[in-house]
């Protein structure tokens, strides 16, 4: 793919065709939508509490600024501003750290994670970050498979049953783009 290709414009266009939009989960957005974000996250966490041992998240987690969290975190919403997808990512030293990603049950399997990953990787590369990392529950098979398909690599499995994966942002952006076209629902 040509390095001049506008990946971020592609994401915007694809989402717009589905009446969706992606915006930064900025500090102001999080403050203005705190209850909506908490409800969205905790609905997802409740759904998988038994599988992954997830507990309810507190508002302090949402408002924790972490390093550059509000620069690398995104919300995908529909035309009524309902949250469909949410990700929080921050900077740990010289690498992006993917903290959490949630998708509304209504919007799963519609390519939102792939489009988000294209956007995140583009922003990361434009900001000088070549790599990112993240941790997943070892039994979160759907997410692990999807992220591996998008080019993430297994780094380690911890004692606490967390899988650590790493990503080369340039490779993942390209693979997510290709996978999106390969699996796009028509």
CB 120 within 8 A of CB 134: no
Per-domain boundaries in the chain: 7-181
The token pair at 33 is 């939508």
> How does DSSP classify residue 100?
E
C-alpha–C-alpha distance, residues 123 and 68, integer Å: 12
Specify the DSSP class assigned to residue 105.
Answer: G
| Tens-digit pLDDT string for the chain (186 aa) | 556 889 999 999 999 999 999 999 999 999 999 999 999 999 999 888 888 888 888 888 888 888 889 899 999 999 999 999 999 999 998 999 999 999 999 999 999 999 999 999 999 999 999 999 999 988 888 999 999 999 999 999 887 678 999 999 999 999 999 999 888 654
The position carrying tokens 């508002």 is 59
Q: Output the pTM of the full model.
A: 0.91
Tell me the CA end-to-end span of the chain in Å, nearest whole number: 23
CA distances 23 to 6, 131, 133, 160, Å, are 17, 22, 22, 33
Return the CATH fold of 7-181: Aminopeptidase (3.40.630)
């Amino acid at each position: 793919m040509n390095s001049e290709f506008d990946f971020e414009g592609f994401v915007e266009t694809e989402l717009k065709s589905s009446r969706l939009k992606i915006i930064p989960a900025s500090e102001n957005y999080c403050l203005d939508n705190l209850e909506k974000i908490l409800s969205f996250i905790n609905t997802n966490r409740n759904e998988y509490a038994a599988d992954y041992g997830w507990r309810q998240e507190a508002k302090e987690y949402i408002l924790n600024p972490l390093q550059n969290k509000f620069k690398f975190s995104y919300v995908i919403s529909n035309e009524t501003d309902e949250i469909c997808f949410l990700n929080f990512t921050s900077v740990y030293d010289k690498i992006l750290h993917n903290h959490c990603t949630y998708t509304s049950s209504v919007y799963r399997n519609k390519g939102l994670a792939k489009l988000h990953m294209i956007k995140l990787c583009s922003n990361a590369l434009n900001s000088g970050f070549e790599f990112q990392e993240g941790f997943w529950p070892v039994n979160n098979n759907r997410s692990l498979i999807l992220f591996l398909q998008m080019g993430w690599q297994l780094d380690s499995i911890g004692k606490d049953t967390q899988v650590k994966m790493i990503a080369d942002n340039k490779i993942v952006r390209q693979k997510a783009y290709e996978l999106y076209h390969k699996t796009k629902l028509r």
